[in-house]
């Protein structure tokens, strides 16, 4: 790809970037309150939120990584976008989103204080803040590596350029800028990937041609067109991990409990718009594996001997796309990475401001003050993200830092889901139980991670038989957290009735547009 880019390609990318940053700035300059900044003044329509949900979920590294995983392991990676998204989004739309929206909260940790206590809120807020702030750095670094390989620019320049552009419109325009730039980014991403898919399939003679080419590769592609892979297959996606770890734990934890995701729906102009956004997002999700995983299959059919699976998508784009259109693919890639970085930046700023500054430092801050604080915190987190990206670059991936933070989300997502589910569906669950379960669940996940990754130091066999067992970590940490929440809640006094009063909202959702 690197040598194949021409001036026309770069002009197309420049037009896209100027348009995106300009839109973001134009949206933000009229803001007057913190509510405008963090929840877009609760004015967002369903179609914009839905596209933003999808764009935020698909990062630049996902386009390359999913294409690479499809190249190496086949279509089973599509489970992450299908059964790993669609059912949870639909359930979230009709059960959780209405209650969160009607409560008028800004963050998921804020819900935890309303339902349990400030300790639970702080613990979850801290986990999310650390994860999201570090994730901004990880995404900047991972994206810079990809951009470096695609364009030849230095990694440092790519980190600065991406952070600068995303920072400018996120600081200026808050959630509204993030969501509306995500709409452009989602469209460009889908359009660019559709082009690669269409031209790739045409080149192979259609779907039948693809099937024939894959069959010709013999045993290597035996499971490549199957979504459900045997439990003992040499794949990171065996069906028990996909069903129990992804579909039952990580997926609902992500779509219900992820601040970066749920914050969009909290900014919806009405409860109906918040719900419709999730349903629209679920429909878009059905398309995503087709445009980012199938190109991986096309790549293995055309180039079965690539040095690394992650080269699949870029190689396909470089070989098949004509001048100018390659620029569109590069723009799609940049769009994907910007849409994820801006989401986590905005969400982490919201948690830092609402769950820490406004909760513990200055509870009486007026709207103008909140707006200034929100922008300042976003700037500080952007600087932190840049620093963390350079830290990972200096430390090198071999230190394990990169892997640890990649796995970090699976450490607390399972326990966080256990808290949300018991908080919603079991009135007897209390704050002491929730906090105990959350902490024990995290200890369980971290313990499993240490025992598995450093098993030789303990003189034992690996705990799991697949390379990246993060789906299994989430199952066990969820189970442990759930058991501890139930046991401790039973042994300690219940919460007062007003803590569970919000549950009545569940039967009053007929009054949609509040």
Residue 456 burial (CB count, 10 A): 9
User: Judged by CB under 8 A, which of 147, 317, 392, 509 binds another protein?
Assistant: 509
Q: Is 275 in the site for another protein (CB under 8 A)?
A: yes
Q: Is 466 in the site for another protein (CB under 8 A)?
A: no
Residues 6 or more apart from 259 whose CB is under 8 A from it?
A: 107, 108, 109, 128, 132, 347, 348, 350, 351
Q: How far apart are CA 474 and CA 411, in angstroms?
A: 7
Using rule CB under 8 A, residue 10 touches another protein: no
Segment interacting with another protein, rule: CB under 8 A, options 123-131, 177-185, 226-234, 321-329: 226-234
442 in Cβ contact with 409 (< 8 Å): no
CA gap 478, 137 in Å, rounded: 27
**Shorter beta-carbon distance to another protein: residue 307 or 507:** 507
240 touching another protein, by CB under 8 A: yes
Total residues contacting another protein by CB under 8 A comes to 42
Question: For residue 268, which of 283, 257, 281 has the smallest C-alpha distance?
Answer: 281
- In sequence order, the 6+-apart residues with CB closer than 8 A to the CB of 352 are 129, 377, 381
Cα 246 to Cα 265: distance, rounded to the nearest angstrom? 23
The reply to whether 98 sits near another protein by the rule CB under 8 A is yes
Q: In terms of Cα–Cα distance, which of 245, 254, 289, 195 is closest to 53?
A: 254
Asked if 264 and 280 touch (Cβ cutoff 8 Å), the reply is no
Closer residue to another protein (CB): 206 or 387: 206
236 binds another protein (CB under 8 A): no
Query: Judged by CB under 8 A, does residue 270 bind another protein?
Result: yes
> 4, 87, 209, 304: which one contacts another protein (CB under 8 A)?
87
> How far apart (Å, rounded) are the C-alpha atoms in residues 365 and 363?
6
Span of 33-41, 88-96, 213-221, 366-374 interacting with another protein by CB under 8 A: 88-96
Which lies closer to another protein via its Cβ, residue 240 or residue 400? Answer: 240
Report how far apart the first and last C-alpha atoms of the chain are (Å, whole number): 51
Site for another protein in 43-82 (CB under 8 A): 75, 82
Q: Does 230 bind another protein (CB under 8 A)?
A: yes
> Segment contacting another protein (CB under 8 A): 120-128, 363-371, 482-490, 503-511?
503-511
Angle at 45 between CA 54 and CA 43, to 5 degrees: 120
Question: Rule CB under 8 A: is residue 511 a binding residue for another protein?
Answer: yes
Cα 124 from chain centroid? 17
Q: How far is the CB of 321 from another protein (least distance, A)?
A: 27
Query: Which stretch, 142-150, 283-291, 322-330, 416-424, contacts another protein (CB under 8 A)?
Result: 283-291
Alpha-carbon distances, residue 280 vs 45, 86, 514 (angstroms): 11, 10, 21
Which span (273-281, 321-329, 330-338, 414-422) binds another protein, by CB under 8 A?
273-281
Piece of the chain touching another protein by CB under 8 A; list 52-60, 235-243, 301-309, 432-440: 235-243
- Distance between CA 262 and CA 175 in Å, rounded? 12
The single residue among 99, 210, 268, 276 that binds another protein, judged by CB under 8 A, is 276
Nearest to 503 by CA among 426, 418, 416, 431: 426
Q: Which of 238, 374 has the CB closer to another protein? A: 238
Chain positions contacting another protein, by CB under 8 A? 75, 82-83, 86-87, 90-91, 93-94, 98, 225-228, 230-232, 239-240, 243, 247, 270, 272, 275-276, 279-280, 282-283, 285-286, 451, 460-461, 463-465, 509-513
């Amino acid at each position: 790809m690197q040598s194949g880019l021409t001036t026309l390609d770069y002009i197309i990318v420049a037009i896209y970037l100027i348009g995106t940053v300009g839109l973001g700035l134009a949206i933000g300059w009229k803001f007057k309150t913190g509510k405008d900044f963090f929840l877009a003044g609760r004015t967002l329509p369903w179609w914009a939120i839905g596209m933003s949900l999808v764009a935020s979920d698909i990062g630049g590294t996902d386009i390359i990584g999913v294409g690479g995983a499809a190249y190496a392991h086949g279509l089973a990676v599509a489970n992450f976008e299908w059964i790993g998204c669609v059912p949870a989004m639909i359930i979230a739309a009709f059960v959780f989103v209405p209650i969160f929206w009607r409560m008028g909260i800004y963050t998921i940790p804020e819900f935890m204080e309303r339902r349990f206590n400030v300790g639970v809120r702080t613990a979850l807020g801290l986990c999310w803040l650390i994860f999201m702030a570090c994730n901004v750095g990880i995404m900047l670094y991972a994206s810079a590596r990809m951009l470096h390989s695609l364009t030849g620019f230095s990694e440092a320049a790519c980190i600065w350029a991406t952070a600068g552009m995303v920072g400018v419109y996120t600081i200026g325009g808050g959630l509204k800028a993030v969501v509306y730039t995500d709409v452009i980014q989602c469209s460009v991403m889908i359009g660019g990937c559709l082009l690669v898919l269409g031209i790739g399939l045409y080149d192979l003679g259609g779907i039948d041609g693809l099937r024939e080419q894959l069959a010709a590769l013999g045993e290597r592609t035996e499971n490549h067109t199957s979504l459900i892979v045997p439990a003992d297959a040499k794949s990171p996606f065996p069906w028990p991990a996909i069903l129990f770890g992804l579909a039952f734990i990580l997926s609902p934890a992500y779509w219900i409990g992820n601040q970066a995701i749920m914050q969009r729906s909290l900014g919806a102009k009405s409860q109906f718009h918040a719900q419709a956004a999730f349903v629209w997002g679920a429909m878009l999700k059905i398309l995503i594996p087709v445009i980012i995983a199938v190109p991986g299959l096309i790549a293995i059919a055309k180039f079965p001997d690539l040095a690394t699976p992650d080269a699949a998508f870029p190689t396909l784009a470089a070989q098949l796309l004509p001048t100018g259109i390659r620029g569109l693919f590069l723009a799609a890639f940049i769009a994907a990475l910007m849409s994820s970085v801006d989401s986590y930046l905005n969400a982490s700023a919201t948690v830092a401001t609402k769950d820490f500054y406004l909760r513990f430092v200055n509870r009486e801050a007026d709207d103008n003050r909140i707006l200034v604080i929100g922008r300042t915190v976003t700037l500080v987190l952007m600087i932190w993200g840049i620093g963390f990206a350079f830290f990972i670059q200096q430390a090198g991936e071999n230190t394990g830092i990169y892997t640890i933070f990649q796995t970090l989300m699976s450490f607390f997502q399972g326990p966080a889901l256990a808290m949300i589910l018991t908080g919603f569906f079991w009135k007897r669950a209390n704050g002491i139980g929730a906090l105990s379960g959350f902490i024990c669940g995290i200890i369980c996940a971290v313990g499993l991670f240490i025992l598995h990754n450093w098993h030789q130091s303990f003189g034992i066999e690996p705990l799991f038989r697949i390379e990246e067992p993060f789906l299994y970590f989430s199952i066990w940490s969820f189970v442990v957290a759930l058991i501890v929440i139930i046991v401790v809640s039973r042994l300690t006094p219940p919460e007062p009735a007003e803590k569970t009063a919000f549950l009545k909202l569940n039967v009053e959702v007929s009054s949609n547009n509040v």
